[in-house]
Structure 1
Amino acid sequence: MILVNYNLYPRNDVLCIDMRSFYASVECVKRGLDPMTTLLAVVGDKNRSGSIILAASPTLKKKHGVKNVSRFFDLPDDPDIHVVEAKMGDYLKVSVEITRLINQYVPKEAIHPYSVDELWVTVNGLEKRYGSRRNVAQLIKDELYETMGLTCSIGIGDNKFLAKVVMDLYAKQEGISECTYEDVEAKLWPTPIEEIWGIGKRMMRNLNRIGIVTLGQLANYSLDRLKKRFGVMGEQLYWHAWGVDLSPVIGDFQKQDQKGFGHGITLLRDYNGEEVFACILDLAEEVCRRARTAGKAGRTIHLGIGYSQETGGGFSRSRSVGIPTNVTLDIYRVCNQLFHEFYDGQSKVRRVFVTLDHLYDDGATQLDLFEDKAKRKDIGYVMDQIRDKYGSASLLRATSFTDAGVTLERSKKIGGHKA
């Protein structure tokens, strides 16, 4: 029995569009192959047997059970399999073209990208021109295939949550699927909570401990108890279980306050304690460059270190400084201190992350009378201008050219993969 009065909540026409096996499909189209029948795997680096398979064509997944988290060496010995290296620049260009195509149907304010291969589109008010929202979805789906050779799955809902969830659960098999408020109980409640967008493994375990296994059980659990146990997240989960989502469906989605600037990397090999400092310096440089570009400075520096798979573990620590900064050596000095204090002295390092938050406007930050910080800040801005004009690798610190540096190699990539 429905206990929520859906008449109190807005109803919109929202599409969630997911490009099927996007990277693999783009590579197939580039080669004149059919994405739906070709066996093709996209890997990060063909020269590394341990490289991750970033995408597999639908046929490869079905025939050999290959998943996107598999490794290159897991691929079966099948001569029909095409193995190609990822070209992130190509995928970004195609993603932009997809957005431009959809922009022919709706204004930019109605398009909300979620990732390079997934986006929400609000199609309110298109009934007179194109018919029902399902017709609009079919038109977009057909045009993407006819003009770009790419297939997609589309979920349709009264809000972004319903569109996303019905896309994940049904549209990937049906092509297009729809879920209204009234469909929630029949279509979504029987679903195990771990299959619902927004519920990770940790939350799944927490919910399982209190007897919640399906979305229906979550919807019929006490809201007060969920709020008491999980806070704001518990309340959000409860309303999502009823299909209610009040997040904006149209507007300037990019206009949000920046909470902080972070940059991290999973290293190609294990680093020892001495080598990691060159990596930390490179990451601090990138974090400060991004902060300066935004005209921000921060007071809290965070260092995250993940050890190799052999030992596991790591640490994540932060420290605040008295005066907001975006000077690379300031950030590096604090990270250096944190590493010396919390590193166990023997484990190999495989992941490093540096973050700057607790932000202030750079022009409003106070200068230290006993240190010529203004000059050091000016140097940072000059370095940024040179890199903007001549390329990110045009001016690097000496440590970036060592075997432990990461900036030089990453400058050749987009999203961690070859451009």
Structure 2
Amino acid sequence: MDYSKYARNDVLCIDMRSFYASVEAVKRQLDPMTALLAVVGDPDRPGSIVLAASPALKQKYGISNVSRFFELPKHDPELHIVQAHMADYLYMSSEITKLLYQYVPKEAIHQYSVDEVWVTVNGLEKLFGNRWEVAEQIKEDILENFGITCSIGIGDNKFLAKVVMDLHAKKVGIAECRYEDVEEKLWPFPIEKIWGIGGRMKRNLNRMGIVTLGQIARFSLDQLKKRFGVMGEQLYWHAWGIDLSPVFGNFTKTEQKGFGHGISLLRDYSAEEAPICILDLCEEVCRRARTANKVGKTIHLGISYSKETGGGFSRSQSVSIPTNVTMDVYGVCLQLFRKFYDGKSTIRHVYVTLDNLFDKGATQLDLFEDRSKKNDIGYAMDAIRDKFGTTAILRATSYTNAGITIGRSKKIGGHRA
């Protein structure tokens, strides 16, 4: 591969080690790397997921981020079991980002998640040294200011920085992969270890006899494109370490395709309770659409039944006039629920989506219905919530045991704030 025509940048991928667990350890004046600590979504539920485990807990008991609360070793007196506090993690993440502003401008930072960020450090030699020296200083600054250990991958682009961080830096602290290192440092690894390749893609590639990244690189580009389309082409170029995504600029500006809101319920819901949950979700979906000054023509309802029965359905229906009125969307969802619900199963997951979007005001009006009053009610409720809080005004059903809005208002990302 001739890499001379591809851009070379100094990109760092910074990952906070066991971030949630590290934050909780620091709050308790514990060493994040040696303390036995697990962050749990809801300690009152045995089946609640372990959101983060400290490195020591992972090593001693094999606990991971897919373990459940009941799997934790309750007999160990040194184990700290902590409820998640999402507001604290978001605050810490923002503070770490502010620290990075001391090194680079905002345009050089791409926040990938709450605990992971890309930073382009081109041209900092006179201020802070070469890319390795910059990485070492950032690592030391984060540890000194926040007590949190991080791993840093260095690459010519974001893909290389991310993958070398996952595969090598998490073991040694800082690792680098340039174009010329791809064959040695990346090709031998199984495809499931590579960022961007999930379980389904792994199975499809395995059926083609592909088990390592190097085998993708040596595979026919035309055959990969024929089998997987654009994704196949991306797989091929990534296998050679080539990534053309921007390393400077506005990384978050994307066109909104739709508005969706879903929930995994804390208990099984009956057929009588499900519509209350659906109404609360419709309210949130339409509020977001109104805030963006959008209306949608296609309404989607997804229902998953409890584990005992399994299954569910996912159906959509279009309306003649695009809308962001809660009761319009709810009416369609209710029709879909009554039509496709099996009549006996309990419900554990509900999802509502409004898509096929248009700008509000660019749609045809209905001459036989006064829609302005419907719209005014929604916008008035939004204004009250914006000023006084999300629970300042609610529908009566939200106060019942089946309502979800009050409980979710106390959470961030589905977990307690």
Q: TM-score scaled to structure 1, two decimals?
A: 0.97
For 1:310 and 1:124, locate their aligned partners in 2 and report how far apart those are by CA, in whole Å.
55
Task: Name the residue aligned to 2:60.
Answer: 63
In structure 2, the partner of 1:237 is: 235
Taking the TM superposition and a 5 Å limit, the aligned residue runs for 1:329-340 are: 329-340=327-338
From 7, 24, 27, the equivalent of 1:27 is 24
1:72 maps to what in 2?
69
Would the aligned equivalents of 1:226 and 1:235 in 2 still touch at CA under 8 Å? yes
| Partner of residue 197, structure 1 | 195
**1:73 to partner: Cα distance:** 1.3
Q: Which residue of 2 aligns with 1:326?
A: 324
Instruction: Indicate conservation of the 8 Å contact 1:284/1:328, yes or no.
Output: yes
CA distance in 2, matches of 1:348, 1:159: 48
- C-alpha offsets along residues 123-159 of structure 1, whole Å, 9 cap, x if unaligned? 1111221111111111110000001101111111111
Q: Tell me, in whole angstroms, the C-alpha distance in 2 between the residues paired with 1:182 and 1:62.
A: 33
Secondary structure of residue in 1 paired with 2:209:
coil
The CA distance in 2 between the partners of 1:416 and 1:81, in whole Å, is: 25
Q: Deviation of residue 365 (structure 1)?
A: 2.4
CA distance in 2, matches of 1:301, 1:7: 49
* Separation (CA, whole Å) in 2 of partners of 1:125 and 1:32: 38
CA contact (8 A) 1:275 1:404 kept: yes
CA distance in 2, matches of 1:45, 1:293: 31
The answer on whether the counterparts of 1:156 and 1:179 sit within 8 Å (CA) in structure 2 is yes
Runs of 4+ in structure 1 displaced over 2 angstroms?
Answer: none
Q: CA deviation at 1:68?
A: 1.4
**Aligned-pair Cα RMSD in Å:** 1.0
Q: Which residue number in structure 1 is paired with residue 302 of structure 2?
A: 304
* Aligned residue type for 1:103: Y
Give the Cα–Cα distance (whole angstroms) in 2 for the partners of residues 124 and 325 of structure 1. Answer: 47
Instruction: Give 1:44-123 correspondences, 5 Å limit.
Output: 44-76=41-73, 77-123=75-121
Deviations 1:305-350 (A, max 9, x none): 1111122222212111122111111111111111122222222211
- Equivalent position SS for 1:334: helix
| Counterpart contact for 1:288–1:326, Cα < 8 Å | yes
Which of 277, 281, 284 is the matching residue for 1:283?
A: 281
Structure 1 unpaired stretches of 5+: none
Q: Can you give the 5+ residue segments of structure 2 that lack an aligned partner in the other structure?
A: none
Measured against aligned partners, the alpha-carbon deviations of 1:41-79 in whole angstroms (never above 9, x if no partner) come to 111122222221111111111111111111111111101
Aligned partner (choices 177, 180, 187) of residue 179 of structure 1 = 177
Between 147-156 and 125-134, the greater mean CA deviation after superposition: 125-134
Q: 2:134 — aligned with what?
A: 136
Structure-1 separation of matches of 2:188 and 2:304? 38
Structure 2 residue aligned with 1:292: 290
Aligned to 2:383: 385
Matches within 5 A, 1:142-291: 142-291=140-289
Does the Cα contact within 8 Å between 1:16 and 1:119 map onto a contact in 2? yes
Counterpart secondary structure, 2:235: helix
Which string of whole-angstrom CA distances, capped at 9 and with x for unpartnered residues, describes residues 152-188 of structure 1?
A: 1111111111111111111110111111111111111
Percent identical among aligned pairs is 73
Whether the 8 Å CA contact 1:263–1:353 is kept in 2: the answer is yes
Distance 1:12 1:313 in 2: 48
CA distance in structure 2 between the aligned counterparts of 1:12 and 1:165, rounded to whole angstroms: 15
TM-score by length of 2: 0.98
Aligned to 1:15: 12
Work out the CA distance in 2 between the residues paired with 1:322 and 1:357: 13
Counterpart secondary structure, 1:267: strand
Which string of whole-angstrom CA distances, capped at 9 and with x for unpartnered residues, describes residues 184-205 of structure 1?
A: 1111111111111111101100
Amino acid paired to 2:362 = A
- Distance, in Å, in 1 between the alignment partners of 2:294 and 2:110 is 26
Q: Which amino acid aligns with 2:165?
A: M
**Residue 363 of structure 1: CA displacement?**
2.6
State the SS of the aligned residue for 2:102. Answer: coil
